[in-house]
């Protein structure tokens, strides 16, 4: 994790590995730099492909499913 000002930047390598549900009191951006990711946003699946981005609203329950493979940049 790298802090930039008051924000954080994380790099997540997906290899068909699930990541637990979480929620934050701030928005979180998910940018797929390579490959694809399937995230669950408040119980609904969202597919994000290379070059795609999704902003998870503050307070929203979300997780990453096991069928993704690639690199995701997370910023909050």
Give the model confidence (pLDDT) of 41-73 as tens digits. 999 999 999 999 999 999 999 998 877 788 999
Domain of residue 16 covers 2-75
Report in angstroms the alpha-carbon separations of 28 from 5, 23, 41, 59. 15, 9, 12, 10
Kindly state the average pLDDT of the residues 1-5. Answer: 63
- Residue 57 has, within 13 A of its CA and on its CB side, a CA count of 4
CATH of the domain at 55: 2.60.120.10
d(CA 20, CA 10): 16
Using the structure block, give the residue that is written with the tokens 């694809």: 36
Q: What percent of the chain has pLDDT over 90?
A: 62
DSSP state of 57: P
Q: What is the pTM of this model?
A: 0.85
| CA 64 – CA 18 distance, rounded (Å) | 6
First-to-last CA distance in the chain? 11
Number of domains forming the structure of the chain = 1
């Amino acid at each position: 994790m790298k802090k930039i000002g008051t924000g954080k930047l994380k790099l997540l390598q997906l290899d068909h590995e699930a990541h637990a549900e979480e929620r934050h009191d701030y928005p979180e951006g998910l940018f797929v730099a390579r490959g694809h990711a399937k995230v669950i946003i408040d119980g609904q699946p969202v597919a994000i492909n290379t070059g795609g981005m999704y902003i998870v609203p503050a307070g929203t329950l979300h997780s990453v499913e096991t069928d993704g493979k690639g690199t995701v940049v997370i910023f909050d």
